[in-house]
Amino acid sequence: MKILLLEDDVASRAHVERLLRAAGHVVDGCASGPDAIFLATSQSYDVLVLDRMVPGVDGLATLKAVRAAGVRTAALFLTAMDDVDDRVEGLESGADDYLVKPFAGAELLARVAALGRRPPIAEETTRLVVADLQLDLLKRTVTRAGRRIELQQQEYKLLEYLARHAGEIVTRTMLLEQVWSFHFDPGTNLIESHMSRLRAKVDRGFDRELIHTVRGAGYRLDATA
Amino acid sequence: MRPPRALESGSFRFAILLAAVFALGAAALLTVVERSVGRYATEAAADGVTTEVAILSDEDRAAGRAATVQAIARRERASREHQLRYLLVDTRGRALAGGLPPGLARLGWRDVTLANPDRHESDDPRTVSLMALGTRLADGAILVVASDTVEIEELRGGLLRSTTAFGVGITVLVLVGGFTVGSIFLRRLERVNQSVERIMAGRFTERLPPIGMSPEFDHLSANLNRMLDRIEVLMDGLRQVSTDIAHDLRTPLTRLRQQLEDLKANAPGAAFETQVDGALAQTDRILTIFRALMRIGALEAGAGPRRLVAVDLSEMMERVHRAYLPVAEDGERRLIADIAPAVTVSGDAELLTQAVTNLVENALLHTPRGAEVVIGLARRGSGAAITVADDGLGVPEHERDKVLRRFYRLDSARASPGSGLGLALVAAVATLHQATLTLSDNRPGLRVELFIPARKPS
C-alpha cells in the first residue's frame, strides 16, 4: 500500500516509516501540513497517517483541507492527546480511525491494513466464508464444516469482526473498540477470556485451527497456519 | 442546595425583631402618654369644678341663697352640653337647685355614674360618668358641682386608637422594608452563590461579583476573591507538576518504546526478543499510568463534560456485564447483574463506561476467589444509582476516603496488579457529572454507589 505520513518529530517519523516499510508499504513522509496537503491532493494514496499536533497547519486542519479538495482516502490520526473530545473531534473532521501515541507498531500496522483494505462503498454482504467456516449475517448463524455452532451474542460479534477482517491482524484495542465500544484500555485482559470461549466453540474438535494468536499484536482469523 | 427565600433571610428576621421592638416601644409610649394626658385632663376638670364651687360659695355668702339658686339655674342652662352639673341641698335634705339627684349631696370628691338625664335619642350614651365635689355652705346647706368625664374618656380612647394604628402601621412598614431589603440582598447573594457553584464545577478563573449594599460586603467578596486567586495558583502549581511530569516523561518513554521495537525487529534470537518484550511491557505499564494520570488531571481541570448526551445506562451496564462475565468466570468469581431497563442520564458515555469498568475490575480483582460481585442500576428520583457490591474483604471505614486518592492502595491490595488510579478516575468522573460516589460496608465486602442526578442534555 502507498501511505502518506505526516509527522513533525524526526525520530518518530523515522520509526513509523521504518515500521511501515518493513511491512511492505511504500511511505511518503513529510513534516508539515502544507506539504501533506500538496502530496495528498496531487498523488494517490491508500491511507493517510497524520499526526494531529504539528506546528503551523495541524493534522486536523490538514485533513479538513484534503477532504475539502475531494480526496476520500482513508485517514488515521496519530495523537498524543487522548481526551474523549479530541477523538470525537478528529473523527468528525473526516478521520476514519484514531490512534493515541505511544502505540505499539503492530497496532498501527493492523489499523493501516484495515483502513487500506476497507471497501470503498459498503457492500451488501450477507455471508462471510473463511475456509469451512460460514457466517450468515442475516440469520446471525454460524456453521463450520456444515455443523451448526451456537454462539452467544458477544461471541458472534467477535467472530463476525474477525471474519470481516479475515487474513488480517486484529489487535485487542480494535476489538475493544469495535465489539464492546470500549475506547480505553481496561486493566484486565477481557479479550483473552472471550477469545478462549470462542475458540472452544469454533476450533475445538476440528482438525485445523482458524483463530490464531499473533504474539505481541493480536488475533487473526484465516485458513493458513 | 435550595436557595434561601426572602422570608427566611437574615434581614427579614432582623426586620421581624425590629418590628417587635417597635410594637413594644409604641405600647410603652401609649401607656405613658395616655397616663399623663389623662392625669392632665382630670386635673383640668377638677380645677374647673373647684373654681365653680369657690365662685358659688362666694356668691352664696355675698348675695344670699336666692341669688345662688338663680346663678345655678343660669349656669346649668349655659353649660355646654351639661359639662358641669349642679346640686344645692338645704340642711333638711331638700333640693333647692340643680339637676343632679339629691342623693349625691355628699361632701368631698366622688366619682359617680348616673343614668343620662339628657338622653333623648337612642344613640345618646345611656349613662354619664361624673366627677363631683361637695362643699358645705355657711348655713349648713350642701353644694355639689360635678364635671362630665366623658371627654376625658374620649380623649383617652382617641389616643389609644391612633397610637395602635401608628404601631401597626410602623410594624407593617418595618416588615415590608425588611422583606424588600432581604429580597434585594438575596438577589445579590444569589449571583455570588451561582458564581461559587460555577467555580466549584471547574471554572476556576471566574471571580465573585461584588455583593454591594455596603462596603463590608464588598470587602468580604474581595477577600474571597483573593482567596480564590491563591487557591488557583496552588491548584495550577499542583496540576502543572503532575501533568508536566506525565507529559515530559511520556516523550522519552515513547522514544524508548520505539527504540525497543526497532531493536526487536533487527535482532534475531528468541531469548533476546523475550527480554525486549519484557522491557516493552514495563514501558507500556508506565505509559498506561501516565495516561491515566493525565486523564484524571484533564478531568479535574475540566469545566464539566463538554459533550453531554443522553446515555443509556442500562445498555452500557449490560454491555459491561457481558464483557466481564467470562473474565469473572475465569477468575472464579460470580458476576451478577441487577440492571433496571431504560435508565438514561445525561453525561459523557465514554467516561461513565470507564468508571463502571474500573469499579467492576476492582471488585473482580480485589476479592478472594469464589466472591460474588453484583452490579446494579436503579432509577432513583429523577437520577440513576449505579452500584457495584462485592462480598470480599471490604475497605475499612477510615480508608474509604483515602482509596479515592491517586496512587493510594490498601495494604491488602499491594500484591495484586493495578496502579492505584482506578478509583481516582471514578471520583474525577463523578465530580464531572456532579454525581455522588459513596463507599459503604456491604456486610461483608465493599459497596460502591455512584448516584448521578438528572440534568438536561446540553
Instruction: Look at strands B446-452 and B383-390 and give their pairing.
Output: antiparallel
When mean pLDDT is compared over A77-81, B67-71, B334-338, the highest value belongs to B334-338
The pLDDT-based confidence of B296 (bands split at 50, 70, 90) is confident
Q: Identify whether the C-beta of residue A96 lies closer than 8 Å to the C-beta of residue A72.
A: no
Please give the backbone phi and psi of residue B260, each rounded to the nearest 5 degrees, phi first.
-60, -40
User: What are the C-alpha distances in Å from B152 to residues B28, B40, B308, B411?
Assistant: 20, 9, 79, 93
Q: Who has greater pLDDT, B407 or A141?
A: A141
Residues 158-187 of A with CB under 8 A from B: 180-187
pLDDT of residue A141: 92
Interface check for A191 against chain B (CB to CB < 8 A): the answer is: no
What residues are paired with A213 via a beta bridge?
A219
**Cα–Cα distance, B183 to B71 (Å, whole number):** 72
What ipTM goes with this model? 0.82
Q: Identify whether the C-beta of residue B98 lies closer than 8 Å to the C-beta of residue B86.
A: yes
Size of interface A-B (CB pairs under 8 A): 84
Mean per-residue pLDDT over chain A, rounded: 88
CA dihedral B131, B137, B142, B147 (to 10 degrees): -20
- Chain A: closest CA distance from residue B234 (Å): 24
Q: Which residues of B touch A153 (CB under 8 A)?
A: 322
Contact A182 B353 (CB under 8 A): yes
pLDDT of residue B451: 95
**Cα–Cα distance, A119 to A165 (Å, whole number):** 11
Is a pLDDT exceeding 50 seen at residue A121? no
End-to-end CA distance of chain A: 24
The pLDDT-based confidence of B403 (bands split at 50, 70, 90) is confident
The pLDDT-based confidence of B326 (bands split at 50, 70, 90) is very high
Is a pLDDT exceeding 90 seen at residue B313? yes
Least confident of A81-85, B56-60, B269-273, B390-394: A81-85
Interface check for A224 against chain B (CB to CB < 8 A): the answer is: no
**Cα–Cα distance, B342 to B339 (Å, whole number):** 9
Is a pLDDT exceeding 90 seen at residue B312? yes
The owner of cell 442534555 is: B457
Residue of B nearest to A22 (CA): B265
DSSP B139: T
* DSSP per residue, A112-143: HHHHHTS-SS-----EEEETTEEEETTTTEEE
Q: What's the mean pLDDT in B407-423?
A: 74
**Cα–Cα distance, B410 to B354 (Å, whole number):** 22
Residue of A nearest to B349 (CA): A84
Per-residue pLDDT reduced to its tens digit, B212-236: 777 888 888 888 888 888 888 887 7
Q: Which of A11, A84, A186 sits opposite B351 (nearest CB)?
A: A84
Contact A102 B364 (CB under 8 A): no
pLDDT of residue A123: 61
- The SS3 assignment for B338 reads strand
What residues are paired with B135 via a beta bridge?
B143
> Among A179, A188, A191, which would you mutate to test the B interface (most chain B Cβ atoms within 10 Å of its Cβ)?
A188
Q: Which residues of B touch A100 (CB under 8 A)?
A: 291
